Amino acid sequence: MKTVSSCLCLTIDADVMALDAIGDFCLGVFNAAVEQSADRPVLRVFLALPENPAAIVTQLENYCQQLAKALSIALPRVSWKILPAQDWGSRWKEHFHPFTLTPGLVIAPTWKEYAARPTEKVIVMDPGMAFGTGHHATTSMAAALLLETVAAGAETVLDVGCGTGILAMAAALFGAGQVLAIDNDPLAVTAARENVARNDLSAKIGISGDNLSSLSGNFHIVIANIVYDVLLDLALDMVRLTAPGGALILSGILAGKQEESIIRHFAALGCIGSDQRRQNEWAALRLHKNFSHAQ
């Protein structure tokens, strides 16, 4: 067993709106243990001591800056220190238990046995170093809209910014014939490929680090659970790749102004809203591409 001589402890003092997203980021990207204070909006994050702790802190601060801008909240405060020996490398696993992502679909970590009920499908996964355990509201809402759309007969799916591959695997399990999942983060591509293979879905799901702009063809569903600014940046290509009459499922959006802006922006590209979900401060949208906007 590997012995860790010491660990890096990060303390994040943040608006309560940001806690889930920061915790999920730290768990997935840093392979960390995440503990939340019971009486105040503070996270403590523990990970095996890296060669360059300052680089980890900078990466977290950059993410917090992006999140604060997206949520229009005060910038989270990050502090850190080095603690004496303990094996924190797998401590975060204590916080990841089997859970229902959306009715009928359970996410189970590789280190926890789970006996599925007859009405359930199960994704067994290890987040690795990629973002996306499925706990966040944006993922559960996107999954619900995705599975409804697949159940209505959609055969081909493009998952943009796939992270751990959780949405791509959900689509394949619930009946999509072919799924392409892409991400520009090599760590995400690696984690997604391992998770897809672990769930015996490699015949249905392709994983790629290709840029969205380099893709061609049409997909019955294009899904993206990313942040608002990136959804706008990728809008033209996502619409181009959506088959006429197909569905765009977009998540990672704040309810209210961001949601309204996304609806207007995609409407101008020929995609009209057909469903929307809200959970806490987050929203997810299902849009349909008009047949008149064939590419």
pLDDT in tens, 190-244: 889 999 999 999 999 999 999 999 999 999 999 999 888 889 999 999 999 999 9
Of 94, 120, 148, which residue is a domain's last?
94
First to last CA, the chain: 56
Which pLDDT value is given to residue 197? 96
198 lies in some domain: yes
The token pair that represents 256 in the structure block: 């209210």
The chain-wide mean pLDDT, for the chain, equals 87
Total domain count, the chain: 2
**CATH number for the domain that contains residue 32:** 3.30.70
In this predicted structure, the answer to whether residue 20 has a pLDDT above a threshold of 70 is: yes
In this predicted structure, the answer to whether residue 94 has a pLDDT above a threshold of 80 is: no
Q: Are residues 266 and 170 both part of a single domain? A: yes
Domain residues for 70?
7-94
* Positive or negative torsion for Cα 66, 71, 74, 80: negative
- State the pTM of this model: 0.77
pLDDT in tens, 60-87: 999 999 889 888 899 999 999 988 766 5
Read off the pLDDT of each residue in 87-103 and give the average, rounded to a whole number: 71
Let me know the angle formed at the C-alpha of 125 by 241 and 220, rounded to the nearest 5 degrees: 20
Q: How confident is the model at residue 37 (pLDDT cuts 50, 70, 90)?
A: confident
Read off the pLDDT of each residue in 258-282 and give the average, rounded to a whole number: 93
CA–CA distance, 190 with 164 (Å, rounded to integer): 8
227 lies in some domain: yes
Edge-to-edge order in the sheet of strand 271-279 = 205-208, 178-182, 156-160, 219-225, 242-254, 282-289, 271-279
Cα dist. 73→43, 44, 258 in Å? 17, 20, 14
155 lies in some domain: yes
170 lies in some domain: yes
Which pLDDT value is given to residue 3? 47
199 lies in some domain: yes
pLDDT in tens, 129-184: 445 666 678 889 999 999 999 999 999 999 999 988 999 999 999 999 999 999 98
In this predicted structure, the answer to whether residue 279 has a pLDDT above a threshold of 70 is: yes
With a pLDDT cut of 90, the percent of the chain lying above it is 57
In this predicted structure, the answer to whether residue 115 has a pLDDT above a threshold of 60 is: yes
Q: Which helix (H) or strand (E) holds 251?
A: strand 242-254
| 284 Cβ neighbours under 8 A, 6+ residues apart | 138, 141, 142, 144, 145, 225, 249, 250, 251, 253, 276, 277, 278
Q: Residue 218, exposed/middle/buried by CB under 10 A (0-12, 13-18, 19+)?
A: middle
Q: Are residues 83 and 229 both part of a single domain? A: no
Could you tell me if 242 and 219 are in contact, meaning their C-beta atoms sit under 8 angstroms apart? yes
Q: Are residues 33 and 86 both part of a single domain? A: yes
Amino acid of residue 206: G
In this predicted structure, the answer to whether residue 88 has a pLDDT above a threshold of 60 is: no
